[in-house]
Amino acid sequence: MPQAAKGAVAPNPLLAQYRLLFPLICCGVLFLATYGTCKLLVFSSSLHTWQFWQGAWAAQLQQGPLLAAILLAACAAMVYRQLSKQVYLLDFSCYRPAEEYQVTWKRFMAGSRECGFFTKDSLDFQERISQRNGLGNCTSFPPSLHEEPPNCNMVTAREEAEIVLFGVVKEVLEKTGLRAKDIDILVVNCSLFNPTPSLSAMIVNHFKMRSNVLTYNLAGMGCSAGVIAVGLAQRLLAGEPNSRALVVSTENITLNWYSGNERSMLIPNTLFRMGGAGVLLTNRPSDRWRAKYSLQHIVRVHLGRDDSAYRCVYQHPDSTGKIGVELSRDLVKVAGKALTHNLTKLGPKVLPWSEKLLYAGNWVARKVAPGRWQEYVPDFKQAFDHFCLHAGGRGVIEGLGSQLGLSQRQLEPSASTLYWYGNTSSSSLWYALSYIESRQTVRKGDRVWQVGFGSGFKCNSAVWTALRNVDSKHPAWNHLAADTTTEQDSKLRVENNTAAENKSTADRSAVPSTLRNGQNGVSKDSEDVSDKENSICNGHKDLNQDGTASVKDREGDVFAAGESYLAEAKSCLNGQVKHEDSGSGEIKAHSQTLNGKQAVAFL
């Protein structure tokens, strides 16, 4: 039973805890009332009446045990049916990539340059996005993208799927102490990679599951498919009493790494990373005592009838035939609209009466006096204790946090998920929940809200209630020091994000140039860039007197002379960088001094 939301009138704790025994209590009270009435009539009647009622009561007592047994059986069936309708979360696991799959930001940019697929403009664009997208310095890619050039094909895509899927399923089975043969329902969701046989068949084959296991494979449903998979499992469990369901959520990076130069399709390269999650659900009443959470609500919103919403996340080939996922400029607006629809449906189910009355009063006031009252936004912090937001990017998390008025601590699980693991698509909600369990506190009765966005366009959310105090230590967060507080983790993450934003400015200032009268001049006695590692990955160029560009590595200076760098050096001496392709003299980038600081504007 959900704990009363803060600020709302708390229900009777006795009825809240024993609500399933209420039918038994009512039947017992009815039985005692009947018996007491009969006794009262017996003692208030004459001797003749007494003998009549005594005989009638004796006849009823002869059938009493049978009637009591029938009554108890009916009540037990009612209680069992009520328990079977509940869906419980036994446990879940999140994939922790091995160290061999980890890639630093510098290595990512170096690999992007070395593969030869991208133009200089595309590389610069990916670098700028990577500097402010909220990802940390070290995230994980599948083995195929570690090769030079990347080896993306069906074989390597299957390899990635096996690494992630088998890992999370094995971990969640070990956590719950169950065998693969104990699974009755299997639901797998992966949006962009769907081979034949399916991913669910891959799991059945590897773990040798029963032949009568019910398997389902969800495809093309985007980053919110994890909640959809849980909703599907809930509906399936409703028709399969006394069963267990395994939900596996992942996304495949191998075949969906974009090698073209369309900017709207390059953004996923900088955000999506390797990951997955396995969730074990059950409706067995005997499993309730060890379950972590009870599923309260699944709310789904689909805006697919609107063309702009339908195409805001769209997979198609670019002008050169290379397939990628395009993110349109309407994405933020569509996501906000979808979230509003979802909260409108979810609010009446979870908000306390105080918030409902405030919203109703505000609605009436706005109808009576239009323009005088602003729309009241309910405080969902009174409905939920923990928030698992879709880690789609830094802007997504900060935008949701601002709209909902969340604190730094409430945003921390999703922001930390993005920082350490990137956007793992539908499984990112489970990484956030695992962070809450590992680094924060979940108490009995706490309510957890998961919300995700996906192509189509969809906004789906799930509400869970903790059945006990949860203090699990997930391997996905074992790399964080045990004695480090969450506030220190958050401070470190914010500092790293701030430092990332300053990468570009720091890189440009490392070039040996001096500002004179608003123009860039080449100084003969300028100092070399001291950070050799940065100069490898960021491609820093030291302009010498002869216009030759040098790129530093850890061993020494490797000189690469070329006409393009010579032209760039000459144009820098004139105070501007001209567009080489058009030859029109259009300024592509310029720098000037504002109050003693260098400001760079990209046109």
Tell me what pLDDT residue 139 has. 94
C-alpha–C-alpha distance, residues 394 and 400, integer Å: 10
More confident residue, 508 or 243: 243
C-alpha–C-alpha distance, residues 385 and 545, integer Å: 62
- The band of 148, judged by pLDDT with boundaries at 50, 70 and 90, is confident
CA dist list (Å): 439 to 116, 269, 415, 419: 42, 29, 13, 15
Of the given ranges (41-50, 216-225, 470-479), which has the lowest mean pLDDT?
41-50
How is residue 341 written in tokens?
């629809």
Tell me what pLDDT residue 79 has. 56
C-alpha–C-alpha distance, residues 399 and 412, integer Å: 14
14 pLDDT above the threshold of 50 = no
How is residue 443 written in tokens?
């108490």
Mean pLDDT of 122-148: 91
- The band of 63, judged by pLDDT with boundaries at 50, 70 and 90, is low
C-alpha–C-alpha distance, residues 471 and 473, integer Å: 7
- The band of 85, judged by pLDDT with boundaries at 50, 70 and 90, is confident
Of the given ranges (17-26, 168-177, 286-295, 570-579), which has the lowest mean pLDDT?
570-579
C-alpha–C-alpha distance, residues 460 and 11, integer Å: 28
C-alpha–C-alpha distance, residues 571 and 520, integer Å: 9
* Closest to 341 in 3D by CA, of 453, 427, 432: 453
How is residue 333 written in tokens?
């607006």
pTM of structure:
0.71
Task: Measure the CA dihedral 400/401/403/407, to 10°.
Answer: 160
Angle between helices 408-421 and 394-404 (to 10 degrees): 170
C-alpha–C-alpha distance, residues 188 and 174, integer Å: 19
65 pLDDT above the threshold of 90 = no
Q: For the segment 489-524, what is each residue's pLDDT rounded down to a tens digit?
A: 444 444 444 444 444 444 444 433 332 333 333 333
Average pLDDT, the chain: 76
- The band of 78, judged by pLDDT with boundaries at 50, 70 and 90, is low
Mean pLDDT of 24-34: 60
**Amino acid at residue number 195:** P
More confident residue, 491 or 206: 206
CA dist list (Å): 588 to 72, 141, 407, 568, 570: 83, 33, 40, 12, 15
% of the chain residues with pLDDT over 70: 66
| DSSP per position, 578-597 | E-TTT-S--EEEEEEEETTE
| Paired residues of 451 in beta bridges | 389, 461
- The band of 368, judged by pLDDT with boundaries at 50, 70 and 90, is confident
Q: Mind telling me the catalytic residues?
A: 223, 302, 386, 390, 423
Tell me what pLDDT residue 366 has. 86
C-alpha–C-alpha distance, residues 500 and 277, integer Å: 29
C-alpha–C-alpha distance, residues 380 and 354, integer Å: 12
How is residue 269 written in tokens?
């390269």
C-alpha–C-alpha distance, residues 466 and 448, integer Å: 8
C-alpha–C-alpha distance, residues 163 and 145, integer Å: 14
C-alpha–C-alpha distance, residues 420 and 140, integer Å: 9
- The band of 542, judged by pLDDT with boundaries at 50, 70 and 90, is very low
